Amino acid sequence: MAFSKEKRRKKIKLRIRKRVSGTAERPRFAVYRSNKQIYAQLIDDIAGVTVASASSLKEKKAQSVNKVEQAKMIGGIIADKAKASGIENVVFDRNGYLFHGRVKALADAAREAGLKF
């Protein structure tokens, strides 16, 4: 019996989270992708604190472009917030999604803006 898309993603997510954990010096760059929006967070798992976050829902400019362009905008914004917090290195957590399309666009934009994965 095959898994549903959601169960399959949750299994992959747990497999990734076994190995990926964020610290104060190198927080976890977590991505969540819904059908309409994209969200990114920098998380210190040891302290249990979100260091910075960005979403296409809160950005007015992101509402007027396609979803890949939204992801690129959010990648740049989260990288700028990370730099403002003194963070340059992060651990990428794709959250069970394939590294393709919007997730890849977000990561590439964050790299171009100066974050190191």
Per-domain residue ranges for the chain? 5-112
> Could you tell me which CATH number the domain at 5-112 has?
3.30.420.100
What contacts 24+ positions apart, CB below 8 Å, involve 49-54? 51/27, 51/82, 51/85, 51/87, 52/78, 52/81, 52/82, 52/84, 52/85, 52/87, 53/78, 53/81, 54/78, 54/81
| Average pLDDT of the segment spanning 2-7 | 88
φ, ψ dihedrals at 28, nearest 5°: -85, 130
In SS3 terms, 19-50 reads as HCCCCCCCCEEEEEECCCCEEEEEEECCCCEE
Q: Give the mean pLDDT of 87-105.
A: 96
pLDDT at 1: 60
Average per-residue pLDDT for the chain: 95
N- to C-terminal Cα distance for the chain?
A: 36
Q: For the whole prediction, is pTM greater than 0.95?
A: no
- Give the residue-averaged pLDDT of 27-32: 97
